[in-house]
Amino acid sequence: MREILKDLERWRRQGRPVAVARVVDLEGSGPRLPGASMAVTEDGQVAGSVSGGCVEGAVVMEALDVLATGDRRMVTFGYSDDEAFAVGLTCGGTIHLFIEPLDW
């Protein structure tokens, strides 16, 4: 969260709802380590990243849903043969994200 701290603080000062996604676990090869984070505002502004660009689009959708429902959740992105068109990491690894509103 260190890299996106300034954005988080600014959005919070402006009273804008923000969801924060953090990489908490990683299996196999992955571009970003646990602690990598990304924030999404209600109107779709984004700061930070959790992969090399492979899953950010899907994370935005999940984050917007977290903001709409208020439900924090674990989300996993990986790649498997029978999900060739699903969202995954091109490097073949699996990442586990925790996405929650910045309400703490």
Specify the 3-state DSSP secondary structure of 80.
Answer: coil
Calpha distance 23→25 (Å, rounded): 6
Minimum distance of another protein from residue 74's CB (angstroms): 6
Calpha distance 72→53 (Å, rounded): 22
Q: Which residues pair with 94 in a beta bridge?
A: 27
Helix residue spans in 1-104 (DSSP H) = 5-13, 56-69
Out of 16, 29, 69, 90, which residue is the one contacting another protein (CB under 8 A)?
Answer: 29
What is the contact mask toward another protein in residues 43 to 72, using x (rule: CB under 8 A)?
Answer: -----------------------------x
What is the binding site for another protein (CB under 8 A)? Answer: 1-2, 5, 8-9, 12, 22, 24-25, 29-31, 33-35, 72-74, 91, 93, 96, 98, 100, 102, 104
